[in-house]
Structure 1
């Protein structure tokens, strides 16, 4: 035994086994205690409640849902709503953040001042406060009868924004947006991956056109298959009584979350993008000018790709953090994954099981985001002596 303890490798192994054993013991004790407390209160444990009807409804869902549907389906509704909010917010935050980052490194004093002001204002105000602010602004808009009319096809009121809609299922729209994100990722992969470095520009343009054509065909097929029976494909909103009918209603809760998360995330992404541009040495741009490239060609073919490669790991972390921030929707009544779980806990009393589902759901979603983006990073990053400027 003494000889075993004198060996450093053996001591390290015993320490690790002891640590893992302590964690497992704590988990077992916690599970036994929780089970005893539940039994003492006459509560049953397990996931059998997922098949029970909820008895309550939701005010926003991408799929059909009624009060007679199960807890399993309402949890799926919450997951889809969070994914929908996260997908829109992350895309908008990336677009706005990139613009802000470019403004800050443009060299133009007015553009730089605008970008700096944007970052300093929205980065230093808490996200929850921003969401409350935008929600108050949106709900203060006129009532439906006094709504702002946009060319007779869209209306803006305190009850939401009413847009022309398609008579298709919410799942078809969600899958179409997902296909759009995949197509965008493929286009970026072709533009920046080392595998396509020596591909002719005409071939790259052909690949891109095929990708967008594929997305268009997939979207048309999804909308055709998901079209609601006995309805026209397009419907326009119209005022009837005290509210609008038909069309798509973008609720103030959803819109406030999108605006708040997008702007807040753009302030951080703008700084990340600015750091990426600053990491590109001036010699790279000078080499482009020496080769006869225009300023725009130098920016799009040299500075921008190198900046994206430099900041991709930081952006991945920011995207994961931004998706987790979608939980602020519960503060203004948006029906996201977190709100669904909270309501389910109050209605069913299955606290431990539902918290486990919530943690597992966010773990899977965030890990999937990080995994996909890390694979993109592996495909575009420079290796070895390529890192030298």
Structure 2
């Protein structure tokens, strides 16, 4: 026994086992204590409540939901709404942020001034304050009867934006959106990844076109399968009484969240993109000019790919942070994941279980997004040491 204790490996392993065992024991004591306290208050623990009807409704859902549906389904509604909001806001923020970053390094004084002004305004104002501002502005628009008409096919009012829509179930639309994101990601991967470097440009173009053709075919099939029976595929909103009918209603809550997160995120992404372009040495651009490349070719084939490789790790962190920012929707009544969990806690009293679901949901979503983007980063990053002059 003494000989074992004198062995450093045995002592180290024993200390690690003791530490892990202590943590496990502490967690078990916490669980037992929490269960005892809940039983003393007449509250049941466990996840059986997920099969109970909620008795309350939601004002925005991508899938059909009624008051008789279960807590499990309303949580799924919240997750889909948050993912929907995050996907739209992150896409717009990326586009605007890239544009702002390019403007700031363009060399054009007016473009640089506009880009700098945008960053300094939207980066330095709290996100929640921006959300309240846009929500107040959108709800102050004219009432439906005095709504702004856009060629009689779309309307703007204080109750939301009404757009032409498809008579397709929301779940099918969300699937098409996910396929669109996957198609764009695959097209960029084929264009930028080092493993496809030896593939001729003509073949890359053909593969990209095939991807987009597949997306169009899948979209048509999914929309046809998801079409609501006995209805036309396209419907146009129209005014009837005091409100608009048919079409797609983009609520002020959803629109305010999209605008606030997109502009706030674009200010940060713009700075990240600017740093990426500044990291590309002037010598590489000058080499492109010496080879006879046009300014656009020099930008698209030399500066942009190198800048994307430089900023990808930072962008991944920014995307994860921006998705977590979707929880601000609860401040104005948008039915996101956080709001659904909060309401469920008030209605059911299952606090620990619902908080665990909330934490687990965000961990899975953010980790999955980071994992995919990290794989993209591994595929496009330059291997080895890159010496710059």
**Could you tell me the TM-score, scaled by structure 1's length?**
0.97
- Cα distance in 1 for partners of 2:222, 2:256 equals 28
The aligned residue for residue 183 of structure 2 is 183
- 2-side partners of 1:289 and 1:360: how far apart? 51
Counterpart for residue 381 of structure 2:
381
In the TM superposition, residue 18 of structure 1 has moved relative to its aligned partner by: 3.6
CA distance in 2, matches of 1:133, 1:281: 41
CA distance in structure 2 between the partners assigned to 1:260 and 1:5 by the alignment = 61
What does residue 357 of structure 1 align with? Answer: 357
Alpha-carbon shift at residue 21 of structure 1 (Å): 2.7
| Residue in 1 that maps onto 2:208 | 208
Does residue 299 in structure 1 map to residue 299 in structure 2?
yes
| Residues 13 and 116 (structure 1), Cα distance of their counterparts in 2 relative to 1, 3 Å cut | farther
Q: Secondary structure at the match of 1:382?
A: coil
Q: 1:139 Cα shift?
A: 0.3
**1:64 partnered with 2:64:** yes
- Matched position secondary structure for 1:207: helix
1:66-103, Cα deviation, whole Å (9 max, x unpaired): 01111111111111101100100110010000001001
Whole-angstrom CA distance in 1 between matches of 2:386 and 2:206: 28
Secondary structure of 2:232's match? coil
The answer to whether the Cα contact below 8 Å between 2:276 and 2:311 also exists between their aligned partners in 1 is yes
What is the correspondence of 1:22-41 to structure 2 with a 5 Å cutoff? 22-41=22-41
How many angstroms does 1:209 deviate by? 0.7
Inter-partner Cα distance in structure 2 for 1:85 and 1:217: 26
Deviation at 1:196, TM superposition (A): 1.4
Q: Which runs of 5+ in 2 are unaligned?
A: none
1:121 is matched with 121
Q: Quick check: 2:281–2:388 contact (8 Å CA) kept in 1?
A: no
CA drift at 1:200: 1.6
Q: CA deviation at 1:23?
A: 2.1
Cα distance per residue 1:277-318 (max 9 Å; x no partner): 011111110111111100110000000000000110111111
1:100 aligned residue: 100
Instruction: Give the deviation of 1:22 after TM superposition.
Output: 2.9
Shift of 1:25: 2.2
Residue 232 of structure 1 corresponds to: 232
Alignment of 1:1-389 (within 5 A): 9-386=9-386, 388=388
Distance 1:14 1:113, change over 3 A: farther
Change (3 A) 1:200 1:40: same
Please tell me the root mean square deviation across aligned C-alpha atoms, in Å: 1.4
Find the residue that maps to 2:244 and give its secondary structure: strand
Kept in 1, the 8 Å contact 2:94–2:269? The answer is: yes
Deviation at 1:29, TM superposition (A): 1.4
Partner deviation per Cα, 1:306-346 (whole Å, 9 max, x = no partner): 00001101111111111111000000000001111111111
SS for the counterpart of 1:384 is coil
TM-score normalised to structure 2 length: 0.97
Q: Helix, strand or coil: the match of 2:161?
A: strand
What is the Cα deviation at residue 4 of structure 1?
A: 6.0
The structure-2 alpha-carbon separation of the partners of 1:328 and 1:294, relative to structure 1 and needing over 3 Å to count, comes to same
CA distance in 2, matches of 1:265, 1:10: 51
Q: How far apart, in 2, do the equivalents of 1:281 and 1:265 lie?
A: 27
CA distance in 2, matches of 1:3, 1:136: 75
- 16-25 or 263-272, larger mean C-alpha shift: 16-25
Give, in whole Å, the separation in 2 of the partners of 1:105 and 1:386: 23
